[in-house]
A and B are shown apart, each in its own frame.
Chain A
Amino acid sequence: MLRAQAKTSLIVAAIIIIVVLAGIAVYFATRPTTEQPTPPEKPEKIVWASTQLVPPKEQAFVKDQLLPKFKQETGIDVEFVGISYSDLVLKLESEIKAGKVTVSVIADLHGGLDMFASKGWLEDLRKFPQLEGRTFPKILEDYSYLHGIKAYVPWLTATYVMVVNKKAFDYLPEGLTPDDVIKGTEKWTYDALLAWAKNIYEKTGKKLLGFPAGPNGLFVRFLHGYLYPAFTGAQVENFDSPEAVEMWNYLKQLWQYVNPASTTWDAMADPLLREEVWIAWDHTARIKDAITTKPDQFVVVPVPRGPQGRGFILVIVGLAIPKGAPYQDAAWKLIDYLTRPETEVEILENVGFFPSVQEASGAVPEGPLKILAEGVNKMLNARDAIVAMIPSLGAKGGEFKQIYLTAFEQIVLQGKDPAEVTKELKPELLKLFEETGAPLPPPDSG
C-alpha cells in the first residue's frame, strides 16, 4: 500500500519535471530570431508609410478608393504601408543610417514628425513648388515649421468638442445666451458651464453634464489638454502650480453636477441619444453617431475658456518626405493629391478625419458632418485658442494618461488635497519625458 503511494508520488513528480522541462525546451525552440525583412525595390512604385488610417476598414478605403484615382491620374503606383509608430521609428532610423531609404512619403502625427525633424531625418519641403488652390489655417502652417525646416504638410486634423442637446438652452444661467455658447464668446467660460450645469440640476433634479470617464474613455484628454492649458497655460510644466490647485478645486465643484455614471462611459454618443446627458464632451469620432442619428437635436459648440484662454487639443496628421528618399517628385505629387480640398472631404466622409485646408470646409455637403465641421472650425479660429498637442511618448503614453487619471481619482473622487496629490505625482510625470527624451508638448514648450 505504502509502496504504491510512493510510486504515485514519484510519477506525479516526474510528470511535473517533464512538463517544466518540455516548457523550457519549447521556449528555446520557438524563441524569435532576429531577421531583417528585405524591402521590395520597384522603380515605378513609391512607398507610403503611415501610422494613420491603419485599421482594416480605413486601409481598404485608402487602397481601393483613394490610391487607384491617383494612379489613374499620374500613372504612379503607390504601396500603402500601415505601420505602428515604434516600427516606423525603427525603419526610418535603420534606413537612413544605412543610406538606403525606401520610403518616399510618411504620414504621422505632429509629435512624431517633430521628433523626426529634430533628428534631421526629414527633407525641407520649401524646395518643392507651391501647392495651388488651398489655404492652411495659420495655426497649422505655424506648427509645420520645425527645427528650422518646413517639416511637413498638414493633411488631416481631429479634435474633441462639446455637444449640446438643444433642450439644455432653456436652462442657461442668467447673462449667458445660446449665441455665446455656439460662437464661443468671452462669456462662455468654465464658470459659466458650472452655473449652467447647476441650474439644470436645480430645475430638473438631474445631473445632465457628462464625460467619457470609463476605462476606455478619453476623459483624460479633457484633463491634460483642456482644463490644464485653460487654467495654467500648460499641460505638464504647471502640473502642481497654485493655478492647477485652483483648477482641481473647480473640477471638484463641477463634478457635483456631472452624471455619476460618467465613470463607466467610454463614448458619449449613446448617453446623449438616451438623454442621460444634455451636455457632453468627447472626441469628434466618438460623438459623430449622435449627430448623424439626430442632427436636429444637437449643436456642436467650442469648449469653454478658462483664466488663461480656450485650451483644446489639436491632433494634426502631417505628410513628410524622409531625407534622401527615392522618387521625391512623385512623392510631392502624392502629397499634392492628398491635400486637395475634394480629397480631404472624401476622407472626412469615409473615415471622419477633418480637413486641414480652409477650402475643404466649404466643400462639406449639408448635414450632420457639416455641423461637426463648423463646430471644429469655430474652435480652430477662436482668438483666445491655446492649442495643446498630445505628447509622443510611445509606449509610455499609457503612463502619461494614468498620472492625470490618478490625480483625478484621488482629488475629485476620493477628496484628497490637490496640492499634495499633484506634488506627489509630478516627478513621475517628468520622469516620462526624461526617460523617452520626448519634448514637452505644446503649449508648454512655447
Chain B
Amino acid sequence: MRYRLLAEKLDRILPYLLIAPTVVYMGFFVGYPLVQGVKLAFFDEQGRFTTENVDYLLNSPLSKFRDALFYTLLITGIVIPVEFVLALLLAFFFNSFRFRGKNAAIYVTILPLTISDVAAGLIWYSMLTGNGFANKLLLNLGVISEPIQFFGWQNRDMELLAIIITEVWRSTAIVFVILLAGLQMISHEYLEAAEVFGANALQRLRYIVLPMLMPSIQAALIIRTLFALQVFGSVWVLAGRDIPVLAGEAFYEHTQMHHTGVAALYALIIAAISLSLGALYIRFFKARYLEAGR
C-alpha cells in the first residue's frame, strides 16, 4: 500500500525531474538574456523606466528602423517561398528517381550549407562586382556591352537581387535536407494501397504525401524563417547599410553608435516577430495523420 503511494508520487514528480536540467539551461541562456534585454531597452542607468530608446527608434532622423523593418520582411517574404518551392522540387526529384551518383549529387546540392553567410556574401560579391566573373562571362558571350552594376546606393534594386540570389543559394539546402528526410519517412505501403484503390499521382500527392510531409514542412519553414529574420552577414557584405535590416541595425547601433538600449530593442523586436511567425506556422501547418483524419 505504502509502496504504491510512493510509486504514484514518484510518477508525478518524475516528469518535472526529467525536464529540470532543460529548465535550468533555458533559464540561464534564454531567461537571463531576456531579462537583461528588457532592462537595457526600457530602463535607464538609474533603473527608471524610460521610452527614450523607443523614441529614438521611431523618431530620430538618425534611425533607420522603418527601412530596416521593411527590407527584412521583404527579403523574408521573397526568399522563403522561392527557397521552399525550389527545395520541394529538388526533394521530389531526389526521392523519386534512382540514378548513378545520386548521393554525390545530393552532397553537392547541400554544399552551400557549410559556408558561413559572410563567406557566401563575399563569394557572390566578387562574382557580381563590375570586374567579376558574372559580368565577364556575359560580356564575353556578347549578352551585354556594359558591365551590370550590382552594388552601390543607386543600384539598390540590384543589391536586393544580389542578396536574394546569395540567400537562396546559401540556404535552400537546409530546407531541402529537411524535406527530403520527411519524404523518405513516408512509407511506401500507403502509396501502394492508394494506387490499388485507383488514386492517381495528383491525388496521392494531395491526400497522402503533403499531409504526411506537414511536420517536416513546418520544421523547415520555422527554422528558415528564424534565420531569415536574423539575416545580416551577407547583407552587410553585399549592400552595407544601403539596405538596412533589423539585425544589421542592432549591430550598428551597438558597435558604432554605442546605443546599447536601442540595440537591445532591435533584438526584442526580432524575437517578437520570430515568435509570432512561429506561432502562425504551428497553427496553420498542423500535422494531420491519416489515422486521425475523421
Contacts and interface: CB of A to CB of B under 8 A. Distances in A.
A261 B35 contact: no
A397 to B, nearest CB: 8
Interface string B234-246: 0010111110000
A79 interface: no
B23 A15 contact: yes
Interface residues of A, number: 38
B27 A26 contact: yes
B118 to A, nearest CB: 13
B130 interface: yes
B240 A26 contact: no
Contact of A264 (B31, B39, B242): B242
Interface string B147-169: 00101111100000000000000
A260 interface: yes
Given A22-B23, A428-B62, 20 more contacts: A15-B23, A18-B27, A20-B35, A22-B24, A22-B31, A24-B35, A214-B240, A261-B149, A261-B151, A275-B131, A276-B130, A398-B259, A399-B257, A401-B256, A402-B256, A402-B257, A403-B62, A409-B153, A425-B61, A428-B61
Interface in B10-33: 15, 19, 23-24, 26-28, 30-33
Interface residues of B, number: 39
A424 B155 CA distance: 27
Q: Which of A23, A274, A398, A409 gathers the greatest number of chain B CB atoms within 10 Å?
A: A23
A19 B62 contact: no
B106 interface: no
Contacts of B146: 205
A27 interface: yes
A389 B35 CA distance: 41
Interface in A376-411: 395-396, 398-399, 401-403, 406, 409
A399 to B, nearest CB: 6
Nearest to A409: B153
Contacts of A339: none
Chain B facing A: main interface SS = helix
Contacts of B240: 214-215, 263-264
Given A19-B26, A413-B153, A26 B15 contact: no
B129 interface: yes
22 contacts: A18-B23, A19-B30, A21-B27, A21-B31, A22-B32, A23-B27, A23-B34, A25-B27, A26-B27, A26-B31, A30-B32, A215-B240, A215-B252, A260-B151, A264-B125, A264-B240, A274-B131, A276-B130, A398-B259, A401-B256, A402-B257, A406-B61
The 8 closest A-B pairs by CB, nearest first: A23-B31, A22-B27, A260-B152, A398-B257, A395-B258, A215-B240, A261-B151, A26-B32
Contacts of B39: 27
B36 interface: yes
Contacts of A398: 256-259
Contacts of A402: 62, 256-257
A399 B130 contact: no
B152 A259 contact: yes
A144 to B, nearest CB: 29
Contacts of B236: 215
Contacts of B30: 19, 23
A13 interface: no
Nearest to A259: B152
B212 to A, nearest CB: 24
